[in-house]
């Protein structure tokens, strides 16, 4: 089992977010200089801007990138638990910037008092170029992000198991209120 797969299982991302772990890493570098590394802790301030994302890819295949927070809601109904922060489909190879943005990037914003959240990046190899019927969300929109399910999304589009992954942990810092204000969620 790869180090990535072990980290995903140890952190319970498997089975909470996906049923089987990715085997290879996604490399994530933020403009702040921060690098995500299989569960290290980063601050919302460090990850506020969209990272550079790289992973091993077949240049002739299409991929989908999912960035989600499975710890958004800690109530009794897990249906509301996941909140997706970024969705990009029809990525040719690993050219994320040329993919079809379904939901614009929003950095981490764990509410005060909710502890440490896991922020999970997954890449799925698509069976072909897809027609996504998801609503298109800007990076200023929170509508339609709560209650997300990576498992259901992957099933809907027949994505199979993730081929690459990474995650970090984050908790509230002084940037979070600024993020909420920019999203109109004050």
The number of beta carbons lying within 10 Å of the beta carbon of residue 147 is 15
> What mean pLDDT comes out for the span 80-104?
95
Spell out the domains of the chain, with CATH numbers in brackets: 3-182 (3.90.280.10)
Confidence of residue 165 (pLDDT cuts 50, 70, 90): very high
| pLDDT value for 141 | 85
* Token code pair at residue 105: 């990037």
> What mean pLDDT comes out for the span 58-63?
98
| pLDDT value for 38 | 95
> What mean pLDDT comes out for the span 150-173?
97
Which residue bears the tokens 């981490």?
A: 108
Which residue bears the tokens 């209650």?
A: 147
| pLDDT value for 109 | 93
Kindly tell me if the per-residue pLDDT of 95 is higher than 60: yes
Confidence of residue 80 (pLDDT cuts 50, 70, 90): low
CB contact set of 141 (below 8 Å; sequence gap of 6+): 103, 104, 183
């Amino acid at each position: 089992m790869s180090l990535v797969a072990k980290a995903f299982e140890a952190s319970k991302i498997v089975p909470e977010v996906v049923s089987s772990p990715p085997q290879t890493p996604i490399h994530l570098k933020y403009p702040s200089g921060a690098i995500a590394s299989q569960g290290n802790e980063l601050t919302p301030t460090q990850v506020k801007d969209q990272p550079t994302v790289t992973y091993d890819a077949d240049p002739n295949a299409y991929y989908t990138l999912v960035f989600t927070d499975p710890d958004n809601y800690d109530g009794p109904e897990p249906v509301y638990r996941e909140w997706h922060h970024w969705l990009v489909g029809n990525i040719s190879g690993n050219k994320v910037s040329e993919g079809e943005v379904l939901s614009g990037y929003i950095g981490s914003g764990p509410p005060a008092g909710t502890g440490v959240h896991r922020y999970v990046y997954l890449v799925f190899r698509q069976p072909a170029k897809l027609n996504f019927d998801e609503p298109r969300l800007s990076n200023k929109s929170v509508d339609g992000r709560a209650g997300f399910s990576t498992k259901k999304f992957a099933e809907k589009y027949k994505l199979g198991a993730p081929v690459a992954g990474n995650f970090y942990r984050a908790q509230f810092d002084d940037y979070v209120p600024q993020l909420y204000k920019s999203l109109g969620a004050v």
